[in-house]
Structure 1
């Protein structure tokens, strides 16, 4: 069969194999160039039209003709990529201008036809995912319609003497032919993007850019209340990225009703499997995504009861993110819905047996967000019931407040009374076993067995509690955290590649290491007390650890260590108060009126210090902890009556509670934290000073000395002539402590007012209470 007698038929037997390996006369092929009648020697326009008409029929299925050939730049055998892009055609230069213009326009269809058929050859494979397979099916259906139109055109050519090239072009403006051009544009994007990804340098650049975008866009804030982006790029274009190309085409053709409707229908058909995966995720928390095309990426590494596992288990695939999922709140609802359901399944609940949801039909439907809200609300209600009715998380929180924030702290007062001496030892000499036994003994009776499940939840903390003597003091840890430098975000986002980003991060880490070495403040005897290192910890069990995370437990620990130190100071002052007000040595009617006045002044200073400590404790217990916990309780109480309360709100409330009490407890500002620590160090040193004066007081009075001589070391004698120097040392010591205390108290007042006005208004309440108690001027 010669080429000039080739007929187009509805069967693919001729068209298909010819296009797959079309004959070509270009280059050094086996086919010799056919001899042709020079078109410039033809007598008239009609002769040229007749000559070129048959060529156009060949061109429409991607073949060369006599007067229309492949461009020299196109070699159909050398590269699949060239066939995927499609051939350009070279038109005889002697052809009439009007025929040449029409031929140029019609030859574009041949280019698209070759591209689309080659695309089917190369991409109709599951390695490119189900979305591409659905696109291939739609392309194949469109090509069948296009080929049927060509058969009709060929029939007109052979049977209708009046059928012209102009009529041919008009017939080719039919809807299926226009759709062919739209499909070609989408295919070309896919092909070009895949070519771009074959270059490892391009892939490295894409990964780096995706990582930076992920850093900018991440909405992650916790284990069960945030969204983490997955910045990885697939080696080939598939899934959501293909759908995003179609979406872009939809946006570009909004002014063309025909093209717009075709693309919308194409999107809905191609995204059917994507929607099935979305519904499965929203209803069952399941991801059936063997080709990694879906919106959610799932990892399986790590322990299932670890909060870190759940924080990173499900991430939003940032590559190919569809515009329906651009809003952060939509991403959050999508990912949390499935994550909640997965937690339920991990706790042994068969979510497949639970009432279902109304499925999303297409991503273009107006009710998609309504269906998403319904699925989210269902999952939210299920997880709240699990945590608050099944695991009694409210009672667990109350238990944390009891043990870490020392609410109802009579047990801790008992522990502090019994462990005061041990807590005064250095970290290296203190016995952790002794402290643990004393602590457990203080709480043992209070945590006796009770059949009430809510009491068991509180007692769980007692059973899980562990104690330690940390390497650094509380102040050292706070200073290291608060003074740590963060990497400038502008510099991060301005990084040109991964190497420059690593260098930037390493320089920040090195600076922080040096900062840590410079800021470790442990250098006095007081700082060596183990009370600064004594810490309580609880390993929160699954699934409670999804709400009460490690970061929140660290905040609880900071509060516990801070309150422990305050209680230590309070107990120390109680001990020294009993000493200076009830001990015989201090109540003795000394003959020296100067000594009696000194004792009175010492008691006044001590009383002022006790007042300060008591005001601070009252402020922390009632103005900070209790006042902020009531806000959390209001939200927890609403769970009983309001089914729309979100677990995210509960998590946020707990997080806000802890961050607020940390700030209001003077633990988040380095200057304020250091002033408070120095002030209480002066108070402890003053306590030590007073507790060490028994021998001095005995030696100040002869009769008192006589009564207690047996208690003194051998050889100690009464020496009245030394009383003058002893009295001077007493005055000097008291004046020194008083001046330091007043100076540091003044610094505290200034800091409270400053930070209260710019950051934590509740600090102003403490400022006013202190000013009122010490008759200080409020300004």
Structure 2
């Protein structure tokens, strides 16, 4: 046959559909483009097996059928029908051109006898069904439509071959003169129902643009709907079983080995390319959440209930495979389509249980998850007491500097020294602890983390860091190096919450140290003549109240929130049956710690922040005053020593003394309020006392309201602690 004209530049609907599918699949599998049929497959319509519009059976002049006797008309029409039933126009029966995806219609010679025409119109739906099915088979055999449609088309082709055998047998009878129109109608009736169902399925798949799982859903629903019609159900069952084979091969590889081999994007689980280690830079655990996702339209309806378990099963095995270990499920068994869903449930449950155990054992035993969590608890939740004493002593001066002036390597060196000097030296994971100087203060970080799961995420994350210059203390936090696959559990979001708890407690510890330093300074101040002043006694009392408050808050957070919650976590981890349970328990642990430490309630946080600010401002004020007292005392001592013990000072000593006095006076002038305006300083202390009491009572009132309304009974412990143990707070 001569070659058809070159392919037109403008694409028809089918060509456009194939191109869209091909581009989509090639984009997903860029390294392995899907194959395509040569263009002549589509350019030669005779290869399709359907009617060729505009051609005729022969060039012979057609005898007007109305002029023939009835028997001759019947004979001619039977011959025509045998052609039409295999997609070839007859002399008196011709196919009409298709409009879109409508069913095939036929034109009959108007002069045909009415009795014959009546019988012919009953038989022609078989030809229309055959036309729809053969077009479907040819179209869906293209690579772009996926393996499930290929398998369905192949199963239909097998049935069409049997249909062709029937037509061949009928033709044999016709040539022997033994096939009347009535007999043809009788023989074709059983096939009529089969082709009608095939055509209906083909039309439904076409209209729904079904591929993969969606094709199987359609077939399953049709099969189920034919309950009561055993022959129709058996036919649909045959087609669904055949079409499901390639899908189940993908499913088996996924649930038994954790591998996806889905070149045509037909499977219910879709793989996205993500780098494992990028988790270090993200707040969310994107790898676990987004590496593999469920594609709803590709879930066969008979697997809908098991979709989450199928996703998890493959993910669990895939994690172990990513770590270089080959896994093959020992209970692997071929999945075969059946109307009894229980069969799938049992197979998937077994695969899921195996995958859960493999990954859980891998993380718990080989990767020592609990030991890593315990190590993080030591540092971030501050239960390694001697380490923090050493660390804060070593870094105190460095952390007072503005964050831009701090040399990170120096802090790292001091951290290393503190680790080596303390009991933390025995921790096998201590080298994973790192320094992190954050770009925001604690409150900003809290808002960022709390906003992660809300609509405010973009607005918060894009917000500029605080314009105020942060001190090292305000910016300081620990960070922890987490390697794959532990980063599934100790993900960036979890680490950020650990950091938030740490910064909160670290600042409380800093305030406690400052208040203790005031006490040490005050011991010296007692030697001064001012120790009898009322305001000085008031300052001592206020400092003790502040210290009691900070220590009680720390005790509450560490021993009434974190320790009990940690023990619950350890207990739950021992009982966990899969990695999702572990993830859930760990997240719950962090959420409970944040909530009970008042870090998820902006109102409580604001009041607590004010209390801490009052304490810090008070310590700064007292330190300045004590320093002034020391300078004044030192001046008197020097003058006394020179004037009495060594006799009258010499001229040289007088000049030196004058210079010292000038310098001292300059320093004292900066603290004039402290030195000379005793009443003013007393008012300042009273103001601190008033502010502290006001904020503390406000905090206790709010805690009482929240603990009652939200049934947060753990917060009542703070109220009891301040009310019973420290009566002067109430």
Give yes or no for contact 1:19–1:114 (8 Å, CA) kept in 2. no
DSSP 3-state at the match of 1:563: helix
Give yes or no for contact 2:395–2:414 (8 Å, CA) kept in 1. yes
Q: CA deviation at 1:102?
A: 4.1
Q: Is 1:670 equivalent to 2:670 in the alignment?
A: no
Q: CA deviation at 1:620?
A: 0.7
Q: Distance in 2 between matches of 1:36 and 1:339?
A: 71
Which whole-Å deviations, capped at 9, do the CAs of 1:504-556 have from their partners, x for residues lacking one? Answer: xxxx94x5578x35xx6665xxx843211011111201221122111111111
Q: CA deviation at 1:99?
A: 5.0
Q: 1:758 to 1:459 in 2, by over 3 A?
A: farther
DSSP 3-state at the match of 1:692: helix
Q: CA deviation at 1:687?
A: 0.8
2:217 corresponds in structure 1 to: 244
2:694 corresponds in structure 1 to: 743
DSSP 3-state at the match of 1:428: helix
Which of 498, 502, 505 matches 1:563?
Answer: 505
Q: CA deviation at 1:482?
A: 4.5
1:770 corresponds in structure 2 to: 722
2:232 corresponds in structure 1 to: 259
Q: CA deviation at 1:377?
A: 0.9
Give yes or no for contact 1:416–1:571 (8 Å, CA) kept in 2. no
Give yes or no for contact 1:283–1:338 (8 Å, CA) kept in 2. yes
DSSP 3-state at the match of 1:459: coil
1:221 corresponds in structure 2 to: none
DSSP 3-state at the match of 1:112: helix
Q: Distance in 2 between matches of 1:413 and 1:428?
A: 25
- Pairwise mapping of residues 577-588 of structure 1 onto structure 2 (< 5 A)? 577-580=519-522, 582-583=523-524, 585-588=525-528
Q: CA deviation at 1:349?
A: 2.4
Q: CA deviation at 1:127?
A: 4.3
2:104 corresponds in structure 1 to: 87
Q: 1:286 to 1:276 in 2, by over 3 A?
A: same
- Pairwise mapping of residues 576-725 of structure 1 onto structure 2 (< 5 A)? 576-580=518-522, 582-583=523-524, 585-588=525-528, 590=530, 595=533, 597-638=534-575, 645-694=577-626, 697=629, 706-707=636-637, 714-715=661-662
Q: Is 1:188 equivalent to 2:188 in the alignment?
A: no
Which of 309, 315, 323 matches 2:293?
Answer: 315
Give yes or no for contact 2:399–2:473 (8 Å, CA) kept in 1. yes
Which whole-Å deviations, capped at 9, do the CAs of 1:617-642 have from their partners, x for residues lacking one? Answer: 01110121111111111123336xxx
Q: CA deviation at 1:743?
A: 1.9
Which whole-Å deviations, capped at 9, do the CAs of 1:93-125 have from their partners, x for residues lacking one? Answer: 565666545433421211221232333334334
Which of 423, 433, 443 matches 2:399?
Answer: 423
Q: Distance in 1 between matches of 2:211 and 2:263?
A: 12
Q: Distance in 2 between matches of 1:531 and 1:133?
A: 66
DSSP 3-state at the match of 2:428: helix
Normalised to the residue count of structure 2, the TM-score between the two structures is 0.80
Q: Distance in 1 between matches of 2:483 and 2:452?
A: 31
2:30 corresponds in structure 1 to: none
Q: CA deviation at 1:272?
A: 1.3
Question: Which sections of structure 1, spanning at least 5 residues, go unmatched?
Answer: 1-15, 76-80, 195-236, 451-457, 489-507, 640-644
Which of 55, 62, 65 matches 1:35?
Answer: 62
Q: Distance in 2 between matches of 1:17 and 1:406?
A: 78
Greater Cα offset, 102-111 or 155-164: 155-164
Q: Distance in 2 between matches of 1:658 and 1:578?
A: 37
Q: Distance in 1 between matches of 2:725 and 2:319?
A: 53
Which of 106, 110, 130 matches 1:113?
Answer: 130
Q: 1:190 to 1:722 in 2, by over 3 A?
A: closer
Q: Is 1:55 equivalent to 2:80 in the alignment?
A: yes
Q: 1:669 to 1:363 in 2, by over 3 A?
A: farther
Q: Distance in 2 between matches of 1:724 and 1:578?
A: 20
Which whole-Å deviations, capped at 9, do the CAs of 1:78-99 have from their partners, x for residues lacking one? Answer: xxx77xx663112345656665
Q: 1:722 to 1:67 in 2, by over 3 A?
A: closer
Q: 1:20 to 1:438 in 2, by over 3 A?
A: closer
Normalised to the residue count of structure 1, the TM-score between the two structures is 0.75
Q: Is 1:361 equivalent to 2:374 in the alignment?
A: no
DSSP 3-state at the match of 2:436: strand
- Pairwise mapping of residues 206-225 of structure 1 onto structure 2 (< 5 A)? none
Alignment length, in residue pairs?
658
DSSP 3-state at the match of 1:326: helix
Q: 1:521 to 1:295 in 2, by over 3 A?
A: closer
2:358 corresponds in structure 1 to: 382
Q: Distance in 2 between matches of 1:309 and 1:316?
A: 14
Which of 275, 280, 286 matches 1:302?
Answer: 275
Give yes or no for contact 1:19–1:62 (8 Å, CA) kept in 2. no
DSSP 3-state at the match of 1:297: strand
DSSP 3-state at the match of 2:661: coil
Q: Distance in 1 between matches of 2:185 and 2:727?
A: 99
Greater Cα offset, 334-343 or 721-730: 721-730
DSSP 3-state at the match of 2:479: strand
Question: Which sections of structure 2, spanning at least 5 residues, go unmatched?
Answer: 1-43, 280-284, 642-656
DSSP 3-state at the match of 1:61: coil
Q: Is 1:406 equivalent to 2:382 in the alignment?
A: yes
Q: CA deviation at 1:707?
A: 4.0
Q: 1:128 to 1:161 in 2, by over 3 A?
A: closer
Q: Distance in 1 between matches of 2:345 and 2:408?
A: 56
- Pairwise mapping of residues 437-586 of structure 1 onto structure 2 (< 5 A)? 437-446=413-422, 458-460=427-429, 462-482=430-450, 486-487=454-455, 509=458, 512=460, 516=463, 523=468, 528-580=470-522, 582-583=523-524, 585-586=525-526
Q: RMSD over aligned Cα, in angstroms?
A: 3.7
Q: CA deviation at 1:656?
A: 0.9
DSSP 3-state at the match of 1:172: helix
